[in-house]
A and B are shown apart, each in its own frame.
Chain A
Amino acid sequence: MCRLAAITSENYFSPLENVLALETMKEGHDGSGLGLGLKDLGGPFEEFKAFPIMSGCSSKKGIQMLDDYMQGQGFQLKFNWEPRLRKVAGMEVQPKDHYFARAYDYPDNFKDQDKDQQENLLLQTRLALRKLGEVDQSLFVFSFYPDVLFMKEIGDPLVLADFWGLDDAKLTARVVLAQGRQNTNYAIYLYACHPFFIQGYCTMTNGENTAFVPIKEYLLGRKKPGYIGYNSDSEVFTHILHYSNRELKFPLTYYKDIITPLKDKEIEARPDASALKLLKKSLRPLCIDGPNCVIGFTPDGSVFVVQDSKKLRPCMVGGVKGKYAFMSETCGVDRVMPERDRSKDINPMKYDMVIISPGAQEVRVWNQLHG
């Protein structure tokens, strides 16, 4: 099993908080990897909010490839951040030469384009670099999007945090998703490490996706650039979110209705029953059937959690106005928010979708039965 640790806050905080929460929940994960997803960046990135940030890791050769490619495309490097790597005991893999997050300015001919065109350019650029770097694994690119940064590596989360010097770095964000394990069901590989990201949407998952192959084949059939990879059975959760919210333009709560549709009798009681009946049939292959807890964020900075239809995986949401934690275990919430009122903790059950608005201002527990 893996452990999830997400924090959303009105103030910037260090991703180290998430890593320490993962450490307290260590009995529940095997510490085989760490994925960090940061949104609404502070610290050195605060002044680059309008610029897309490329995050990833690479060898020396990879970074050269990245530079050549970006220059060729007309992107201008605005800012380059790399953690100061420390020598630590217990590293499981040979460290990469570079872990980077670089803010770029758009090529001239894209500066005045609308947001859609810019986002498509960013996606195509990320995909092209992934393809280039995957041949000899010299370059891994996790995201290329404004105000979003990802760091991933194989190994124990706490060791990696030390290796990257997260305690010392000024890297902060208002939303951080962290996951403490490598792949659940398939080979261990950096691109299989949660959280996954596409065009502003990010999710990480606890649990096996038993319907992985039919879902993957359905997504591949949408012919959308970016619906590729699937080194992890959990990557599809991110793409379903992207498909429903961005491509189909369905309100966020329909994500829950798509991945865990209600029973027909339950649908009858919903005010939007006739639409739901159509959706349930039309998007049937996207129904998840395994034990899954999905935590994610959307482009506007909302953070949410949904459970599978039998609620087979743990999650606890707790905090105070201005800062909330979504954790696989209560001890994780305790680590981040020790002084909250525990009686107000939310234990999302099978019908619930907990959505916390940007800046951790408003907590909404949306119940699927009532819509």
Chain B
Amino acid sequence: MESATRLDVNHELTLQDFPYIVQWREDRCTRCGKCTAVCPQQAIEPSVFAQRLVYSQSDTPIPGVVRKVTHGIRQVTDIERYCVGCGICSLVCPNMAIAPFYNDKNKFLFHKNKDGSPYKRGGRRNDPTPSTLDKLKFTRISMLTDPALDAGRHEFHIRALLGRNLPPEQLPLREENGRLVSDENAFVPPVREIFPIRIGSMSIGALSPSMWEGLAMGITYLNEVEGMPVVMCSGEGGMPPRLLKSRFLKYFIPQIASGYFGWDEIIHSLPHMVEDPCAIEIKYGQGAKPGDGGLLMAYKVLKLIAGIRGVPMHVDLASPPTHQTKYSIEEAVAKMIQSMSMAWGFRVPVYPKISGSKTSQAVLNNLARNPYAAALCIDGEDGGTGAAYNVSMDKMGHPIASNIRDCYLDLVKQGKQNELPLIAAGGMGKTGNLAANAAAMIMLGASAVDIGKYILQAAGGCVGNEYNRCNLCNTGKCPRGITTQNPKLYRRLDPDKVAERVVEVFKSANVELKKIFAPMGRSTQLPIGMSDGLSAPDKAIADRLQITYAC
């Protein structure tokens, strides 16, 4: 036996250290080479195996030995080329000969920091345990006390209000001959009626042109054909100039963030706009990486993106963690809201989006006193991102449920719960229960919820999961063509199919929301803050959210 000290592979990792192990079946493989060609990580490669076969051809066993060279697939043990488990090899394999399997005993995080560079990735938080939202149940069913509504027969109005709602005392109303008359010249803040599930901020840049276009077509169809006012936020990265100047702009929420990417184009399009946008979102934080700025890595800054954002190609585009031209909450929030409101003549609701944090209420109370603030969007720790440090995604941030609940109850205390709508983001539909999660959030006090990862999975076929599967969003190597700017990859994704799926997702969520609200006797107004409808099977959660405990 050779001494271990002489093992020249001792510095290498073993396959057991890796999060996914590729299982390849020699008996099924046709050696077509598709899997190695398609692997975004080059984690597998064609390889040569030397085999020693022992056999006998005589009547009595006389073992003979033959040495043979065969070809096959080998998984590499280079940490930079680790198998991400995306499974695209299985997708292209004609013979079901190859598939990656999760290795729960992996030691990936011990090694994924070569050159002193911490692990960066896209995707989600990688926490497969059930979220608080998934634990909540709807327990107040009106049965004999109320002839239950029929989700299929009765008329439902499932709409949220986005914008600053004045209290009745401040409305410009007077009575004339027994009727109320409003003063048409008085200023009333703009309020939009939208579907309570929105597509949250994901930029062109983070998303491929095919994916972004598919989402945009989907929501336009929902508005124009299905009569569902679903809206979508641009993310930080601008919008296509033609869209800015089109009548469809009203379905979009351009986002401005600390890098101001894309805003040169937006400002220049202003005189040519034929419609106002739905709203303007000012991004201060992201639930996936609170306190950290946006990041579009250089591999994704290709010609189209550089053009829309007004930047050179092939450079990392980092947005600072804060809006650096402003220094305090008063400045950063109040002045930004004023500036943006003014740009559209105070006809467009302007609101900030922050990351979930124990400090959310401080921001909320600042907004409650600002008569131009149109809403507050809070992105919880389960939000996704295109690129972030693993440690930020895994360990930083605040769960959304209690954060929104605290903010709502704070507004209730001030009697302003109808004035400033709360929008919840981060982890909606994390395990696929989109409508249930949205309804629970609404009953805890949110007016609307944002989805990101959910729609990428449902409409684009994103393969990511909570076991760090794929999560290549930051690398430009998205095997589905969702988060890449490489034309070879994004041509895999058909924008029309994405749009079709977007429509299907929202229509089915609409039906499911009715199926939740109908038995609870709610149909004409969104049950915002109807906390008596909810129960948790966990006493601590129930107490914290001020809902009932049921078991």
Q: Which residues of A contact B417 (CB under 8 A)?
A: 214, 217-218, 221, 285
10 contacts between A and B (CB under 8 A): A207-B146, A208-B146, A214-B417, A214-B530, A253-B178, A260-B524, A272-B181, A284-B525, A287-B525, A291-B147
CB distance B530 to A251 under 8 Å? no
CB distance B175 to A249 under 8 Å? yes
Tell whether B105 is near chain A: CB-to-CB under 8 Å: no
The proximity string for B residues 494-515 relative to A, scoring 1 for CB distances below 8 Å and 0 otherwise, is 0000000000000000000000
Tell whether B286 is near chain A: CB-to-CB under 8 Å: no
Q: Which residues of B contact A338 (CB under 8 A)?
A: none
Q: How far is the CA of A180 from the CA of B178 in the complex (A)?
A: 34
Which of A57-65, A119-127, A274-282 touches B?
A274-282
CB distance A279 to B180 under 8 Å? yes
Tell whether B63 is near chain A: CB-to-CB under 8 Å: no
**Taking the nearest CB of chain A, how far is it from the CB of B364, in angstroms?**
15
CB distance A184 to B145 under 8 Å? yes
The proximity string for A residues 282-301 relative to B, scoring 1 for CB distances below 8 Å and 0 otherwise, is 11110101110000000000
CB under 8 Å from chain A, chain B span 409-430: 412-418
Summed over the interface, the residue pairs from A and B with CB atoms below 8 Å come to a total of: 123
Size of interface on B: residues with Cβ below 8 Å to A? 45
A interface, size bucket: 35 or more
The residue from A185, A251, A281, A310 contacting B175, defined by CB atoms under 8 A apart: A251
Q: Which residues of A contact B528 (CB under 8 A)?
A: 214, 285
Tell whether A89 is near chain B: CB-to-CB under 8 Å: no
CB distance A282 to B527 under 8 Å? no
The interface of chain B, by Cβ under 8 A from chain A, is: 142, 145-147, 149, 154, 157, 161, 165-169, 171-173, 175, 178-182, 184, 188, 191, 193, 412-418, 520-525, 527-532
CB under 8 Å from chain B, chain A span 240-282: 248-251, 253-254, 260-261, 263-264, 271-272, 274-276, 278-279, 281-282
CB distance A282 to B168 under 8 Å? yes
Q: How far is the CA of A331 from the CA of B404 in the complex (A)?
A: 51
Q: Which residues of B contact A285 (CB under 8 A)?
A: 417-418, 525, 528-529
Q: Which residues of B contact A260 (CB under 8 A)?
A: 524
Which of B146, B166, B418, B521 gathers the greatest number of chain A CB atoms within 10 Å? B146
Tell whether A115 is near chain B: CB-to-CB under 8 Å: no
A279 and B171 contact, Cβ closer than 8 Å, known pairs A208-B521, A218-B418, A222-B415: yes
Q: Which residues of A contact B142 (CB under 8 A)?
A: 208, 210, 290
Q: How far is the CA of A274 from the CA of B147 in the complex (A)?
A: 34
Q: How far is the CA of A211 from the CA of B532 in the complex (A)?
A: 9
The interface of chain A, by Cβ under 8 A from chain B, is: 184-185, 207-208, 210-214, 217-218, 220-223, 248-251, 253-254, 260-261, 263-264, 271-272, 274-276, 278-279, 281-285, 287, 289-291, 309-310, 312, 371
**Taking the nearest CB of chain B, how far is it from the CB of A246, in angstroms?**
13
CB distance B188 to A278 under 8 Å? yes
CB distance A272 to B530 under 8 Å? no
The residue from A211, A213, A248, A312 contacting B168, defined by CB atoms under 8 A apart: A248
A289 and B524 contact, Cβ closer than 8 Å, known pairs A271-B179, A284-B165: yes
CB distance B525 to A254 under 8 Å? no
Q: Which residues of B contact A271 (CB under 8 A)?
A: 179
A279 and B168 contact, Cβ closer than 8 Å, known pairs A251-B179, A274-B184: yes
**Taking the nearest CB of chain B, how far is it from the CB of A258, in angstroms?**
9
**Taking the nearest CB of chain A, how far is it from the CB of B161, in angstroms?**
6
CB distance B529 to A213 under 8 Å? yes
Q: How far is the CA of A287 from the CA of B527 in the complex (A)?
A: 10
